[in-house]
Structure 1
C-alpha cells in the first residue's frame, strides 16, 4: 500500500510527464480541508484529489471565480461552477480511479479575486447504497432478530397462513391508524403491490436474504382497497409488464371481482375494521327484486352499437310521478364488480330512495371508451338524441330533477359533462373519482372545470367522491372542481374516503351518492357519514 508521500510523488511525476503546467503547481486538497488563494499571485495552484470510480465528491467555492474539473493530464473535464452564476456548491462523481484537478479560473470582471475552496468527506460507491429503513412492523423486527440467531421463517409463515395477510398491527398511541404490511414468500428477484395505498405499484423489500418480502404502510383504520401481488416482474421500463404476473394474494382469503375464479384475473380485498359498512351490495331474502334486461342499441350518430342494460324495480310504473332514473356508464363493471341491480333493490326496499330504474350503458370497445367518455360533443348528442328518447320508449324515464347520471373515472368526467351539456335531461351528477385532470391534447389539464367556470349556473346537484390513495391527479382536481362549483352556487356534497381508484370503494359510493341526490339524505345511514 502506498504511503501518502509515495502517492504525492507518483502524482507529481505523472503530471510532469504529461507536460502540463499543473504538475508544477499542484496542491493536495483533503476532504474537510479549506484552502484559499488570490489571482494576485503570480502562479495559480491546481488542487488535486485522488479518487476511485464512483466516488461522490461535494464541495463549495466562495468567491467570484469559476471552478473547472481536470483529469490527471490537466485536460478539462467539466465546468463545476460558473462564477457568473449564483450557485457556489458543486458535486460530481468520479468516472475512473486516479487523480483529478480542481482549477479556479478568474472572471474578466474580477481579475484580482480571492477565493476559498473546500471539500466535504468523499462518499465511496459502496457507501452510497441506501441504508435499509428501520422496520416499522414489531412482528418483522422480532423475526429479524430470530433470523440473526439462526432461526428459520417457517413459524412466521405458519402464523400468516392462519391469520392471513396483509398483516395488520396497531400503532401505539394512534388509535386511528393501523400499520399494514403486504407480504410475499419466496420471489426470486422482486415483488410489487399492484394497487398499493400510495397510488403506485410499489416494490416490496426483502428481509435480509430470507424468503420474506414485505412493504409496510401507515393507513387510516377505516381504509378499504383491492389489490394484486406481482412477483418477479420482468425487467422493463414498461410498467404494463407488471401485468405479466399480477395475481391474488395467496395469503388473503378475502377476494374481490372473483367472478372468473382465476387467481390471475381476480383481486384481493383489504378492509380495515373501521372501514364503513357496505350494507347494500349483498342480496337480501324477502325483498322485492327488480328485473334486468339486456338490449342492443345502434347509434347512427356514432356509427356503432352497444349493449344497454335496463333495470326496472319491482312494481315499476312507466310515467308515474316521483320515480327516479339512474343513467350509469361502464356496464362491464356496474353489472359485475358493482352489483347495481342488487344495490337499487335494497335501497328501494329500505325507503332510502324512490323507485328508481336504471340504464346501464356498455362500451362498444375499450378504445371507444377512451374516445366517448372524455368530453365528446358527438357522444353527448347520442345521449340526448338517441339514448334518452329510446329509453322513454322502453318505459324508463323520469324528470331531470329525479335523473342521476353517474360513473367512475372517465365515467365520472362524462357524467359532469353530460350535466353541463344537457341539464334538461340530467339534473344530478354522481361522480366517483372523476378524471377532471383531462384536457384536450396540447392544452393544459382541467378542461371541464374551466368550462364550468365560463358557463352560467345550471339546475344541477352534485355528489363528488374521491379516494385519499389516488394521488393529486384525481384528488386535487376533484377538490378544484368542488371549489369552482361552490363558488358558482351549486349544491355539492363532496366526500373523500381512505381508498384508491377502485370498484371496491365505488360499490359503496354509488348508493351513498343516490341517497344524497334523490333520496332521503337526512336519513343517510352511518355507512355514508365518513368524511
Structure 2
C-alpha cells in the first residue's frame, strides 16, 4: 500500500490543465439532400414529407453510400421539422467546433419546413447527438456565446432527434439520440438505455445523477461502504452472474461512474445477455459511484482518492463476500474519461491487487503516466480505447502506447470512430472485456 488517501508518499507527476483539441475535420456535404430531393418526382417528395411530419423515425438519420463511391465512407443526413425555426444545430459528440459552429448548423430546405445537414463520415462512426432549435430574432445562443463550454452547452440544450428511435443516456441520464453506422462492431446484447426524462444536457462534466436508487438499478445488490479516506458513505452496485452460470471464482471488474452504468445504461441487462450469448464469461462487477461533479473531479482524476478507496476499502470486502478471483490477473478496473485515468493509476499504484486496466478515453492530458506505468510494465495488462475525434485524448493515448511498447509492456490501443461519448463507451466496455476474457 502507499498509505492513506491524500498522502503523497511518492512523487506523482504534476497535474496539468485541459488543452483545447484540434478542430475536427468533418466534411459537410452542403446541397447533398437537395440534389436528391430535386431528382425525385412530386409524388415521392409529398410522400417523404408526409412521413416526416407524421414523426416516422424508422430509418433516420438517412445513411447512404459516399457520393464518390468510397466504401469506407457514408453520407449521413440529419433532418428536422421546424417551420418556425431561425437556426438549428446538431450537437454531435466532439464535432461541434466552438471556433466554427456554422459547420454543425442545418440548412433550411426549400420552403418545406425541413432543416437538413449531411456529414460524410467513416462507415464505423458511433455517436450520441442532440438537436437544438432557435426561434425568434437575434443570434442563436450558441452563436452569441464566446467561451468554449458555453457554446457546447448552448448547442446541446435541445433534445433527442424526434425521427430517431434509438436513445442513449449520458452522465446524468439525459437523453441523447444514437447513430451507429453499419461498419461499427455489432452489439446485439446491448440493452436499451433508461433515460431520465427531466435531466438536462448530458454533455460530459454536467451535473451527475443523485445517489438514490431507481428502477434502472433493480436486480443489483447495493453496498454502502465508508470511504476511510474522507469518512463519506459510498454506494457500490454489485452485479452477480445468474446462479449456475459459473462453477468457480469469477473475474472481478471494478467500474467507475457506477451510477451511470447501474441506473441509466442498464449494464445488468447487457451483461446478462452478453454472458448468455457467450460473448464474455460469467463475472462479478462492482460499480463505484462518483457522487457529484465536484467530488468526481477531486477524487477520480488523480492518483489518490477513489484509487485508494478501491484498494484499501472496497477490494477487501468484495474478496471476502463474493466468489471472485483474488489474484491481480483476475481483477480488472475500468472507467471512462477521469474513470479511465483512475483505472491506469490503480494498476500503477497497486499492481499487487489489480493487474488489468481497461481505460476508455483516459484523461491523460491531466497526468503523464508513462513513468509510473513503466515501473510496473512487466506486471500489468493495459488496454486503451480512445475516440479519433477526441484529439488530445487520442494523441496522449498513442504517446503512452509508444512509451511503453519498447519496454515490453502488454499494452494496446483501440482507436474508435467516435468522440468523448457514452454512446460508444457503453458497447465497447463489452468489446474490451471480450478481448481480455475471451
Tell me which interval the TM-score lies in, with the shorter structure as reference length.
0.7 to 0.9
**Equivalent position of 1:158 in the other structure:** 50
Do the aligned partners of residues 145 and 347 (structure 1) sit closer, same or farther apart at CA in structure 2, a change above 3 Å counting? Answer: closer
Indicate whether 1:312 and 2:240 are aligned: yes
Aligned length: 365
Question: Quick check: 1:206 aligned with 2:107?
Answer: yes
In 2 relative to 1, CA 347–317 (structure 1 residues): closer, same or farther, beyond 3 Å? closer
Cα deviation for residue 456 of structure 1 reads 4.7
Shift in alpha-carbon separation, 1:179–1:350, aligned structure 2, 3 A: closer
Secondary structure at 2:220 match in 1: strand
Partner of 1:89: none
For residues 243 and 298 of structure 1, do their structure 2 counterparts lie closer, same or farther at Cα, with a shift above 3 Å needed?
farther
Q: Tell whether the 8 Å contact from 1:183 to 1:214 is kept in structure 2 after alignment.
A: yes
Give structure 1 stretches of 5+ with no counterpart.
Answer: 1-132, 284-289, 440-446, 521-531
* Alpha-carbon spacing, 1:407–1:456, altered in 2? closer, same or farther (3 Å): closer
Corresponding residue of 1:140 = 34
Distance 2:244 2:278 in 1: 15
CA RMSD after TM alignment = 3.4
Runs (4+) of structure 1 exceeding 6 A deviation are none
User: In structure 1, how many angstroms separate the alpha carbons of the residues matched to 2:365 and 2:244?
Assistant: 39
C-alpha spacing 1:209/1:492, structure 2 compared with 1 (3 Å): same
Which residue number corresponds to residue 351 of structure 2? 423
Structure 1 CA distance, aligned partners of 2:354 and 2:151?
A: 38
Q: Distance in 2 between matches of 1:141 and 1:358?
A: 51
| Highest RCO, 1 vs 2 (Cα 8 Å, sep ≥ 6) | 2
TM-score (norm 2): 0.73
Q: 1:483 deviation in Å?
A: 1.8
For residues 471 and 143 of structure 1, do their structure 2 counterparts lie closer, same or farther at Cα, with a shift above 3 Å needed?
Answer: same
Matches within 5 A, 1:300-339: 300-315=228-243, 322-339=249-266
Q: Tell me the SS of whatever aligns to 2:86.
A: coil
Is the 1:326–1:358 Cα contact (8 Å) retained in structure 2? Answer: yes
Higher strand content, 1 or 2:
1
How far residue 372 of structure 1 moved from its aligned partner, in angstroms, is: 1.0
Distance 1:244 1:348 in 2: 35
2:131 matched residue in structure 1 = 229
Q: CA deviation at 1:244?
A: 7.2
Deviates more, 1:474-483 or 1:164-173: 164-173
Change beyond 3 A, Cα 1:353–1:251: closer
Distance 1:500 1:396, change over 3 A: farther
CA contact (8 A) 2:404 2:411 kept: yes
Shift in CA distance, 185/302, structure 1 to aligned 2, threshold 3 Å: same
2:295 counterpart residue number = 368
Change (3 A) 1:337 1:463: farther
Q: TM-score, normalised by structure 1?
A: 0.61
Deviation of residue 277 (structure 1)? 0.9
Q: Kindly provide the CA deviation profile for residues 87-116 of structure 1, in whole angstroms up to 9, marking residues without a partner as x.
A: xxxxxxxxxxxxxxxxxxxxxxxxxxxxxx
Gaps of 5+ in 2: 1-27, 135-139, 193-217
- Secondary structure of residue in 2 paired with 1:436: coil
Q: Which has the larger radius of gyration?
A: 1
**Counterparts of 1:195 and 1:244 in 2: how far apart (Å)?**
9
